[in-house]
Structure 1
Amino acid sequence: MSWPMVKLKDCCEVVGGATPKRNVAFYWDGDIPWITPKDVSNLSEPYIYEAPEYISKAGYKSAATYMLPVGTVLLTSRAPIGNVAIAGIELCTNQGFKSLIPGRNVHNKYLYHCIKRFVPQLELLGNGATFKEVSKSVVENFEIPLPPFEEQKRISDILDKVDGIRQKREQAIKIADDFLRAIFLDIFGDPVKNPKRWGVTSLLEYGSFKNGMNFSKGESGTVLKCLGVGDFKSLATITCMKNIGEIELNTLPSDDYLLKDGDIVFVRSNGNKALVGRCLTIYPGKEKVTFSGFCIRYRIGNSAIVPEYLNFLFRTPSMKQQMLSGGQGANIQNISQGTLSALKIPVPPLEKQQAFSKIVSFHSALMEKLDINTVETEDMFDSISQQYFN
């Protein structure tokens, strides 16, 4: 579809923001909503209706910020570039925005979807040594396709419907995950407090650990899948190896470095502390899959422990905290086999673990269907967006 390309400054008013001085108390805690890029980073819908901070009229007058009307498209221009939202209330922003007040011939929801589509191009226009930022001039001169107003409304309605389907699937996934965590606690109780007085033991009593392999990029000849930190995401279980990356080695590694069904893999070390200690259960079947040196593999060697039980035990906040404090209350940057071996874990009756395992299997099947549908919906959304905005 071909529509005229129009500079944003010719169809919108581009407005920046500012921050009143923090050390002047009466500039703050007033009645004027004031937001930063952080406040629009995790919205579940396009509109923002609340602000975590408020400034006073004196604070507003002291800074070069601007009261934005309802319907303004909020675009973060640094740290990071490209978070987009719509003002659901009158508000003002700090200097991390280049907000777009739509002209009379611009539908704000169309503008919202359009800007989101062009974020990668805007990011390329950013400048700065410490962090990238797009200037007001860059945003003003950025061109977007601008069909007639009624066509803009029709396009935004279509994209809203597809996006609504995607959001409902994401909500269903979250509800199912929350349900599974609640079921675990109901059956077994908190694993650190152990209110049901299960017998406790060390992981070494029921299995063995192995650190992942380190390899050179210069190796060649043998290609196989390698589970890395980037594959964990928020997954509890991996049964399909399709999305796991490949590495090339001179020779096939020993069996100890190949994962087996029911192995539990932990993130051993990572620059992002939030990822350290994350775990998942993997079922590679007959496929040869190894794991990176930033991971630790735990292999159960005793039928009295079920992988799904152990996996969710380590996903509880209390056990995760115990793991990351090394039992000594001090946060650590990485975990080791020793860290994991020192933890005392409750061992409930096998039949209770097996009952929970069946629930996990049902949950996994449901998640697989939802994930497939979510991917299909995202592909459809991208395809429609590309059709309208390219």
Structure 2
Amino acid sequence: MKSYKLGDVLIYEQPTKYIVESTNYSNSFKTPVLTAGQSFILGYTDEVEGVFDNYPVIIFDDFTTAIKYVDFPFKVKSSAMKILKADEHKADIKYLYYLMQTIKVDSEQHKRYWISKYSKLNIKLPPLETQKKIAVILDEADKLRQLDQQLIEKYDALTQSLFLDMFGDPVTNPKWWDEISIEKISIIVTKGSSPKWQGFDYIDSGVRFITSENVRLGFLDCDKDKFVSEEFHDKLERSKLKENDLLVNLVGASIGRGALMERKYLPANINQAVAKIELNIEKINPAFVLNQIITPQIQERLIGNKVEGARANISLKNVRELKILYPPIEIQNQFAERVQAIEAQKALVQQSLEKSEELFNSLLQKAFKGELV
């Protein structure tokens, strides 16, 4: 194997020439507008100038270090990424994409990471033909987990369809339900703090510490665990989490994403980028609130309140004043029971996904230990 700096085999290009001019997206348009984050395709544009077409490439979020492999023409939303092209004489782009999934870098600080960190990392590459063989094997394993993921997404779409069928658009409110602010159905709306600001470090185990990275659209993703001490947890009494607390992201590219706190992740606390909404379950059903919060209509309303800056943000005041539909609790509960049935089916697919993820990760580790081919 030969040793290289990652920046020697992945040549970066700034995305400035490819930034979309208008965010008036439509599914009828041709060219996707991309982000390296979870949402990936933000929408489609009809702009024909400044379309990137020198693919395949890896797009790299310079602040979160998230990556995506892209093999089609595209435009981008912002300059907060690098477009990475492989030196084809030395490296296979797909092999490098999988290799980068094994790299762990603490990206909590708000700074650009490609030049300062990633490009300087030492890597070892097998011969080019071996790289391509490994990439093909990993592609096949990746297809299995993608099929499971697509089925889960169909169940999520079914839940959203059920919500709209029962309650209608939560913004235009065509069924004339009562409306209520989040503050009036909550016991407390607050947020946490950064341990580093108060002289504490993360530890290997202890109290789970939830950040905006863990709060996805409708669920918690705790694969990237962080833990803090009991001492710090007790210091942040107001932001200690309980089962069915609603969590909403306040800062960055994931503004507005929401999830319910699950018992299996307790005890837990949050940082300053996540709002904790302790719901009054005598007034509101948590599953009903969550599935309303994550509708595109309410997401748009939340994001519309954001303040632009070094990192875009919404305030706790915005969260407290957010208006949502407020039908009778009996109807909310009927909806939650139907969602529970959908979730039971989704859980079976989730088990299959976990197995396909386990297979993929096993092959991934073997690949870069030289044990796969």
Which TM-score band applies after superposition, normalised by the shorter structure?
A: 0.5 to 0.7
Aligned partners of 1:366 and 1:313: how far apart in 2?
21
- 2:245 corresponds in structure 1 to 263
Q: CA deviation at 1:211?
A: 1.5
Once the two structures are superposed, what CA deviation does each residue of 1:192-244 show, in whole Å capped at 9, x if it has no partner? 21110112233343332232343523499995333332321334368x99956
Contact 2:85 2:93 in 1 (8 A): no
- 2:213 corresponds in structure 1 to 230
Match of 1:146 among 107, 114, 127: 127
SS in 2 for 1:179: helix
Distance 1:373 1:246, change over 3 A: farther
Aligned partners of 2:134 and 2:265: how far apart in 1?
47
Aligned partners of 1:302 and 1:84: how far apart in 2?
40
- 2:257 corresponds in structure 1 to 278
Contact 1:162 1:377 in 2 (8 A): yes
Q: Which runs of 5+ in 1 are unaligned?
A: 23-34, 45-50, 56-66, 90-94, 104-109
Contact 2:86 2:92 in 1 (8 A): no
Aligned partners of 1:289 and 1:201: how far apart in 2?
28
SS in 2 for 1:230: coil
- 2:26 corresponds in structure 1 to none
- 2:334 corresponds in structure 1 to 355
Aligned partners of 1:18 and 1:204: how far apart in 2?
43
Q: CA deviation at 1:132?
A: 4.2
* Matched letter for residue 330 of structure 2: E
Q: Which has the larger radius of gyration?
A: 1
Q: CA deviation at 1:189?
A: 0.8
Match of 2:314 among 317, 330, 334: 334
- 2:189 corresponds in structure 1 to 210
**Structure 1 runs (4+) greater than 6 angstroms displaced:** 13-19, 75-84, 86-89, 120-124, 151-154, 219-222, 329-332
Q: CA deviation at 1:111?
A: 3.8
Distance 1:145 1:306, change over 3 A: same
Q: Which runs of 5+ in 2 are unaligned?
A: 19-30, 40-45, 74-81, 106-110
Aligned partners of 1:301 and 1:112: how far apart in 2?
51
Cα RMSD for the two superposed structures = 5.3
Q: CA deviation at 1:330?
A: 7.6
SS in 1 for 2:330: helix
- 2:177 corresponds in structure 1 to 198
Quick check: 362-371 or 80-89, which moved more?
Answer: 80-89
TM-score by length of 1: 0.61
Distance 1:74 1:229, change over 3 A: closer
Contact 1:264 1:307 in 2 (8 A): yes
Distance 1:186 1:169, change over 3 A: same
- After superposition, residues 45-84 of structure 1 pair within 5 angstroms as 74=57
Q: CA deviation at 1:250?
A: 5.9
Contact 1:260 1:285 in 2 (8 A): no
- 2:325 corresponds in structure 1 to 346
Aligned partners of 2:323 and 2:60: how far apart in 1?
48
Contact 2:86 2:93 in 1 (8 A): no
Contact 2:191 2:271 in 1 (8 A): yes
- 1:252 corresponds in structure 2 to 234
Contact 2:58 2:84 in 1 (8 A): yes
- After superposition, residues 1-390 of structure 1 pair within 5 angstroms as 5=1, 74=57, 98-99=85-86, 111-119=92-100, 132=114, 144-146=125-127, 157-214=136-193, 216-218=198-200, 223-236=206-219, 243=225, 245-249=227-231, 252=234, 256-267=238-249, 269-270=250-251, 272=252, 274-284=253-263, 287-301=266-280, 303-326=282-305, 333-336=313-316, 338-390=317-369
Contact 1:223 1:247 in 2 (8 A): yes
Q: CA deviation at 1:133?
A: 6.1
Contact 1:84 1:112 in 2 (8 A): no
Contact 1:224 1:289 in 2 (8 A): yes
* Matched letter for residue 315 of structure 2: I
Q: CA deviation at 1:179?
A: 1.8
SS in 1 for 2:263: coil
Q: CA deviation at 1:385?
A: 3.9
Once the two structures are superposed, what CA deviation does each residue of 1:231-265 show, in whole Å capped at 9, x if it has no partner? 21334368x99956334416735865432232212
Distance 1:361 1:113, change over 3 A: same
Identity across matched positions, percent: 18
- 1:27 corresponds in structure 2 to none
Aligned partners of 1:223 and 1:351: how far apart in 2?
39
Contact 1:264 1:297 in 2 (8 A): yes
- 1:61 corresponds in structure 2 to none
Contact 1:78 1:97 in 2 (8 A): no
